[in-house]
Every structure is written in structure tokens, then in C-alpha cells.
Structure 1
């Protein structure tokens, strides 16, 4: 796998794209802090971009399945460049409206990029290498997030926002150039796949999932890590206030990030050759435990252990989940399915974020953690119960056929 030039191009592209993204995110926060005094308006601006990404999801899925993935990635890369140009206009006129345009174009580009990349990865490596590549790809994104935010924070002390956005623009140019270097043979689709890709409706994802209840169960338990991720930053702030320590913020981020990176590198060795769905249940259960541990967040070491356990479990969970969908969902549905999944993730993230804000104001971190932990266990148990029932139905059907 490591001799495959496409693998290195994808990893380099993910690192560069994430670096540019997080530098622009920090610049966005600085711009909004100077021009948008209302916290509600800030959240509304961010929500507008996410909503645009959700609305364009069905179109993105159909387009990805009907066209070459490399072509989609190139055009979405051009879309990222256009979005940064909107921010140059916003800076020139101190215009929040142009920043909203930036957010919309960036999220629309992401709505095409992420599903297309997920659909492309199985075409550049063998199935046995999918877990490894998915894990390393997530690590490239994580390391870029750490470096990008740190670099942007430091640069803001010595340069203006224009320079920061220019650095993001250069990163997206490099991403576009690296994408053009991909060599992927996408002409070997059979007639059935071409027909589905060209004429298939986005609505076909629903009956496809009904015929694959196991994939639906995996989607159900994918909500479990989102409960932690959506609350992540607000929980860090709350724990910091609880211990009256700003240092613990950095410690929580560091512990989670390090454990995530280590797990993503070791996920293939840890998971072995066992059933992927069983492994997903195991790491989902570990995430639920990390949520319950925050019942004792008034002990600093427990809070750190909770974030570390989540980082490790999530670092194993997400590469396995991507691999599971890439190998289970028929390839002619990949674009539409990964767009559908991206839409669910975006909507759930917003719901969790708003719910966390309400719960922290009303019942506090520890009770909220207990509720989220219990909800996670319920989701896991429901999924496992349906999985068991499905196995029994298949076994009974096989027995009848044999008789």
C-alpha cells in the first residue's frame, strides 16, 4: 500500500486541506469577533453554511455516483478557492454578508469533497488495506487540525487576516494540484453501475438501507460518538470552570488528541480480523463509558481519563466505520450513501450542540454526561437487539431452504 502513489497523494491532500481549513476557521472567528457582536448571530452564520451543505447533499450524492470521483474532487477544490475569494472581498468592505457567502460556498464544496473521497478510497487500495488507510487519513486530518490552529493563533499576533486567508488560499491551490496528480482507473464500472450512477435517484438510498438492516444499525450507533463530539468544546470550557484552571483545557485537548492519533495508527492491529460490526459495538461501548466517567468530572484525573478513553475509542471507531460502509454498501450507491451520512452527521451535530447548551445551563455537566451515557447504551442495545433478530431470521431462512 505504501508504494501506491495515490495513497500518498490522498494523505498529502487531506493534510493540506485540513491545514487550510483550520487556518481559515481561526481567521473566521477573529473576523466575527470584530464585526459580529452577537453570539446568536455568530452561531446563525455558522449554521447557514452547514444548512447549505445539508440542502445540497442529495444533489452531491447523485453527481458523485454519475461522474468520476477525481473530477468531482477537482471541481470542489476550485469551489474552495472561490470561497476564499469571497473572504478577500469581505475583508476589503468589512462585509459580514460576503463572509456568509464564504461559509455557504465552503460547506457546499465540502458536501461534494467528503463523500467523493470516501467513495474514491476503495478504488485506490485493496480491501485489506482500507482500515489502515482510513486510520492514517484521519490522523493526517487530526495532526493538520492541531498544527493549523496553533499556526493560525501564532500568526494572528504578527500578521493581518488577509495574510492568514492568503495562506489558506495557497493550501487549497496545493490541494487542487495534488488532486490533479491522482491516477485512478474509473472506467471499469459495469453497465449496471453506470445505469445506477447516471439515473439513480437519491431516494434509492432509503430502500437500499431497508434491504441492508445491518448497515442501518451501524448508522444508529454512529450517533454515539457524535454525542461526545458535539459537546466537546462546551464540556472543556465547563470542566475548566469547574476546576478554575485554564491549564486543564490544553491538557484535555492534548490527551484526547494523542490517544486518537495512537489508536488510528494501531486500529488494524487492535481490530484484528474479527467482525467489523462487533468491533464497532465494542468501541461504541467504550465511548459510552467515557461519557459516564464525566459524572465524576470534579476529579481532574477522571476528566482527563474520560477524554483519553474517548480519543482512543474514537480513533479506532471512525476508521472501522468508514471501512465497514465502504465494503458493505454497493459501490454504485457510494456517492449517494456517503452524502446521506454526511447530512445526518451535520444535522445531528447541530442538534447535539443546541441540546448541550441547554442542558449545561439547566442541569449541569455531570447530569448531562449521565443522560448522554444512558442514551448511548440504549442506542447500542437497540442496534445489537436488531442485529441478533436479523441473524435469527437469516438462520431460519437458511434452515428452511436446506430442508
Structure 2
């Protein structure tokens, strides 16, 4: 096919989050003619995509209107007439896959971003959820896994290996490079002195990210004059703030909420921590390494799947008890903070996870499937 493919991406919302930002990165670098449909809400990611000239359509479906989603979306897809519909995240899979089939789209692709060992997007694994997922998967042409770890989990869920393509997430290494001017700008914004050691955490404020462990681990350090900066939103925000107050360190924690300048926040940070023990890729950890930060983490498949050691990254044991985990994390952060430096970004990391290569891989998946003409699941 000589012309660019018409590809419509369908996602739950475009507010903030790793999958949303990954979609923005891939669409911006795609060689195809793309459009993105958010089922429920827009937000910072949608605004950023529009500013860069991307076509974004927010349906704003909520409440009882969600049950009409397959029909509303199918109508919209018929107007787009895409060669490929590519869905992201569970709600978009639930509504978007049937809608694409109703619209007669020849190729339907689903990317799995958030299948953990025990949960999927914060929902516990249940027999009926697995049954639903398997049924939806059989309606697709192909499932894309964002890491080898994700592919292995999909296979344990019963997805056939020959229906999975691994396409690692992409990282904008140039955009994440350390910026000294941004460092001082963000510190002034947050009222943080130039010589204060800043511990950073980036991620959704929900149970799987274990930010309560981060707060407990950092509390003794914060009493010593350091500052914890947390970028992200989520349902546990009020509880985490309350925990900071109970530990007497609320004045040393900056809760930033959603940010569209994560690279600048990383530049203002001295060490990045991630206590999450259940990740599909570990985007925040890789972005910290891309910024040159020393990183303390529990799980990051992206680093663990590399054959090269990352000297700036300190991996902790798998989660055990909350108090033991907090103590191990505190000791690691304190050790790193005593010898702070900015690290060069490993070449192996850039070669494997560069954004342009990631976008080209997804384009190749679309091109191969369209060329094969295989639009229906084989089950």
C-alpha cells in the first residue's frame, strides 16, 4: 500500500498517565495518518496533542451514556474509515473492540499496558474478568505487549503466544535530558532551596504504586531537612496526605498533582524512588535514568530485560512487609543521597527504547497486518 495507513487510536481518556503519554509519543512520530478518540475525557495530554497538530476527538461519554459507547464509537469510526483501530486500556478494549468490528474495520489491534501479576489497572484478577478479556482478545487481530514481561503475563492468562507481538514502550531521551535552567525554575516554584536534597516519585496515587511505603521510608530523611516531591494523581491522594501529617512531615512533601512537564520536575530532583513491585514496563524509572538521576526501585521490567547493568539504578528486593520495605528503601535512598551525581544515559537503553524506533515498530505491526489482510480473530 503506497499511501499512509489511516489509524485511529481509542483510549479511555487523555488526562494523564503512562499509557496516555506513551500514546502521545507514538502518534507524534507515526508515519501514518492518525486520529485519537478518547471515550470519556480530555485533559493535559489531549491539549498537548492538539497543540502539536494531532487530531483528537473527545466523546465525553459518562454515566448511562457509557452503555451507548459501542454504537456512538462505531458511528464515529465509520466516518473515519480507518485501516486500523488500535485500542489502549481496559475500558477502551471493552467498548472499542466491539465498536471497531461493528464499523467493519479490517484490522483491530490492542495494546496491553497494565496487566500486573495480581491486578489489571488496579482491578484484582477474577475468573470473570479473565473470561471477558479472553473474549475481547479473540475479537482482535493482534495484541501488542509493551514488554517481554507483559507478554509472559498475557500467556499465563491464556492468550496464545502467536497472537502477541512485543513492542517495547518508547522513551523521548532528548526531551528527558537534564535541564539546569528547569531545575532552578521548578525549585523556585516549589519554594525549595538550591542546596536541599529532593527525593522524587512519579506515578498514579493508587495501591499498586505503594507510595505509602515511599512516604514512610522518606519520613526520617525529611525530618533531616530533605524534601519529597510527588507528581501524579489518584484515589489515594487524601490518604497519603493524611499519612504525611501523621508522620509530621507534611511541610516537607510537595504534592504536585498532574504535570505536563515531568522532565522539568525530574531535573529539579536529586534521586528518584519507586516502591511499586508490580510493573509492566517501569516508565517512571526509565525516565529517571534518562534524566541522569540515581534511581532506587523495586521492579522495572524495562531495566531487568536489558543485558547491560545500569550503574545509576539500585534495585531493592521484592516487597515483604510494609515496615521492612520502608526501612530498605530508606537505607538505599540515604546511601544514594550521600553521594549524589548526574549519570550518563547508557547507550544500550537508548538503542532499545528510543521513541522513533518504538513508533516505527508499531507502524510496522499495522503495515504487516493490513498487508496480510487478516482482520478477524482466529478463534
TM-score calculated relative to the size of structure 1: 0.22
- Give me the TM-score of the superposition, normalised by structure 2: 0.23
- Return the structure number with greater relative CO, CA threshold 8 A, min gap 6: 1
Which structure shows the bigger proportion of residues in strand conformation? Answer: 2
